[in-house]
Amino acid sequence: MSLGKFVSIVDDEPDITAVFHEALSSIKGISVFSFTDPTIALEHFTLNKDSYVLVISDLRMPGLNGMELLRKMKESNKLMRTILMTAFEMEDKIFHDYTKKKIIDGFIQKPIRLPDLIEKVETQLSLKTPNRN
């Protein structure tokens, strides 16, 4: 029994996760989860990795940064899509390497307008490779 397609938002700012969660809940066919702690997000992902279709993560968070979080998740589920978001400029060598290796599939520069967020997520969901069960 499948619980549908899981999308999660990981950001250490609770107001961002709340606003993004509400906006993305308007997209049909997905269950949206939000986390302010990347370690808890990784635990939830590990328990439900086959249901995940997309993870949106902030770059700078205490404990585990967004790039490493997405790398760990992508190692377990290569079919899901990932979006990294940050308010900072991305001239990072690791970021470019992860983009080239398809560990990071999309990028959001904060602040982002909610209609743009929804469009970016819908685009990533339409690019997702179907599960081959």
Per-residue pLDDT for the chain (133 aa), expressed as one digit of tens each?
345 799 999 999 999 999 999 999 999 999 999 999 999 999 999 999 999 999 999 999 999 999 999 999 999 999 999 999 988 776 778 888 888 999 999 999 999 999 999 999 999 999 754 443 3
132 assigned to some structural domain = no
Rounded to the nearest 10°, the torsion over CA 116, 119, 125, 127 is -100
Q: Residue 35: its pLDDT value, please?
A: 98
Q: Residue 3: its pLDDT value, please?
A: 56
How distant, in Å, are the alpha carbons of 49, 68, 78, 102 from that of 74? 9, 10, 5, 9
**12 contacts 106 by C-beta, under 8 angstroms:** no
57 assigned to some structural domain = yes
Q: How many domains does the chain have?
A: 1
Report d(CA 53, CA 124) in Å as an integer: 9
Report d(CA 58, CA 107) in Å as an integer: 10
101 assigned to some structural domain = yes
Which range marks the domain in which residue 79 is found?
5-127
Residue 23 belongs to domain with CATH number: 3.40.50.2300
How many residues are present in the chain?
133
34 assigned to some structural domain = yes
Whole-angstrom distance between the N-terminal and C-terminal Cα of the chain? 13
23 assigned to some structural domain = yes
Report d(CA 86, CA 54) in Å as an integer: 17
133 assigned to some structural domain = no
